Structure 1
Amino acid sequence: MKELDIGSAPLQSHIPYDPFAERPLPGIQPLDMAAWLIRDEAFAGQMALRDRLVAERPEAVLAMEPAARPAAEELLELVLGLVAPGAGEIVTRADGVDVPVNRARPLQTLARLVQEDLCILEKRGDEHVMTAAVLCFPASWRLDEKFGRPLIDIHEPVTAYDAGIAARVQRLFDGVRVGMPLWRFNRLWYVDPDLHQPRSIHERRPKPEPGRGGYLRSERQCLVRLEKTRAVVFSIHTYVMARAAVLAQGLDPKGS
């Protein structure tokens, strides 16, 4: 697999929630559907990177089972209705880039419309399985290792994700209702600000020294139920902030 020189990552200087607030796992909160997709200050830079990844590394950032096409097509129509209602065959993004609406390639189109990464999970037996995904900004995981796997395997090797949490998360996915999304957040410190950080489960993520330097990476993760196919969409909006920006916002890293 060829390497891609992505250059400097576009950073945010503000995050609209406190990523250091402690919430018991899985930390889920209700969300207004109108607030699902976000366009923030890093939109232009993140979208330029997404465009490059889709063009140059599609095998690394896009995956879809043939049976998942109806869900992917439904998701594309949902997103178009939210970000570009009434648009024709071309969507002009907020950064001025024209994106052709290619319904034969729904994932490629979705990847270029919104900042969020989008994973589609469908019920297979007793568990939800990842059947399609746009994953441009992985936080130390690889799509080829998680695609086609159920929830418990997707979260391997997260220490806190034990059998009890796994059962609660599966019930959560079963209970997501159309038009009533849910959301949570996480937080991790990284030594560098790169957005595209695929990493095998067998690799260790380099970590900055606690309390010194590094970059905060926080994902705003949402669960959305599709009405027709009943698939669940797991969306990820990624914030990356330098430690100085975290402190300037008045957030307390609590020694991390």
Structure 2
Amino acid sequence: MTMILGQIPENQRQAAAARLPGIQTVTGTDWITTDQSYAEQIALKQTIRAERSMDVLRQLPEADDAAAELLVEVLKLLKHRAGFDVSATKVICPDGRHVDTSGAPLQVLSQVLQEDLVIHQPMGEVHGMTAALLCFPASWTLAQKIGKPLTAIHDPVPEYDATLAKRVQRLFDGIQVGRPLWRANLLRYDDPALYQPRTEGNPRPVGTAQSLYERSERQTLFRLPQTRAVVFAIHTVIALA
């Protein structure tokens, strides 16, 4: 078991305590998070992706243009991010690695960002998942979610009733280019592993006040300017409770 412990920022704790969906505006346009666990999380991502490529990276054909655009937008932001050096063909990352940017977009991004990335596009009147890089799943599996609308994706979530589903869809419809939004969650876990896939029929045991670890996700939503796809970015921190 690979254990990578970090610290949950106080504003993220406060956001996690807000009522669902608990959305806030990101300051500026910068949604990328780089913390003290960067090198360890990126190394773990590469191991997981090498061993379980079909489990952690899926992309439907209709998401090809959105994935390519996402890589372009990320590289634009990283040009202004301390610790990164972006050129026409590569990124030099904070841990010193040189990443070739000519590969498949989500594969490149898995080598550069701590965030997991999910692309949502319209499926009729609702949005659905058309691509994802998911190396750090929190008790769900990409295989069960890819190609499904938001309502089906959230079927196992008790709080996700018809009223909340409508609010979330309105949120997806209303996201504006250049104005990312974020929310957070925070749950107790007995297992500190970042990679915790579980099927809908085999949910994780719910953590208790005695569980040793806290797992928090900073979840960011933003719209790509050309394809208009909505990207859901997930930055995960595991901390001692």
Q: Which TM class, normalised by the smaller chain length?
A: over 0.9
User: Which residues of structure 2 form unaligned runs of 5+?
Assistant: 81-85
Determine the C-alpha separation between the residues in 2 that align with 1:166 and 1:94. Answer: 39
Q: Does 1:180 align with 2:179?
A: yes
- Counterpart CA distance in 2 for 1:154 and 1:240 is 24
Output aligned runs, 1:73-88, within 5 Å. 73-84=68-79, 86-88=86-88
Q: Does 1:90 align with 2:90?
A: yes
Aligned counterparts of 2:60 and 2:224: Cα–Cα separation in 1: 17
Give the match for residue 247 of structure 1: none
Amino acid in structure 2 at the alignment position of 1:13: Q
The answer on 1:40 being equivalent to 2:39 is no
Instruction: Tell me, in whole angstroms, the C-alpha distance in 2 between the residues paired with 1:60 and 1:68.
Output: 18
Residue-pair matches, total = 235
For residue 72 of structure 1, what is the aligned residue in structure 2? 67
* Equivalent residue letter for 1:200: T
- Contact 1:36/1:222 (<8 A) preserved: yes
Amino acid in the other structure paired with 2:171: L
Contact 1:84/1:91 (<8 A) preserved: no
Once the two structures are TM-superposed, the CA of residue 15 in structure 1 deviates from its matched residue by 2.2
Shift of 1:146: 0.4
Matched, 1:120 2:115: no
* Aligned residue number for residue 144 of structure 1: 143
Partner of 1:135: 134
Report matched runs for 1:1-256 at 5 Å.
Answer: 7-19=1-13, 22-84=17-79, 86-103=86-103, 105-208=104-207, 210-243=208-241
Take 1:129 and 1:67, find their aligned partners in 2: how far apart are those partners? 11
SS of the aligned residue for 1:168 comes to helix
Q: Which amino acid aligns with 1:125?
A: G
Q: What is the CA–CA distance in structure 1 between the aligned matches of 2:172 and 2:192, rounded to whole Å?
A: 31
The TM-score normalised by the length of structure 1 is: 0.88
Contact in 2 for aligned 1:30/1:181 (Cα 8 Å): yes
Shift of 1:13: 2.9
Q: Which moved more, 1:42-51 or 1:198-207?
A: 198-207
Aligned partners of 1:122 and 1:232 also within 8 Å: yes
Q: SS state of the match for residue 55, structure 2?
A: helix
TM-score, normalisation: structure 2: 0.93
Structure 1 residue 187 displacement after superposition: 1.4
Tell me by how many angstroms 1:227 deviates: 0.3
Q: 1:142 deviation in Å?
A: 0.1
Bigger CA drift: 81-90 or 232-241?
Answer: 81-90
Q: Which ranges in structure 1 are unaligned for 5 or more consecutive residues?
A: 1-6, 244-256
Q: Secondary structure at the match of 2:118?
A: strand
Instruction: Using the aligned pairs only, state the percent identity.
Output: 47
How large is the RMSD of aligned CA atoms in angstroms? 1.5
1:118·1:135 contact (CA, 8 Å) conserved in 2?
yes
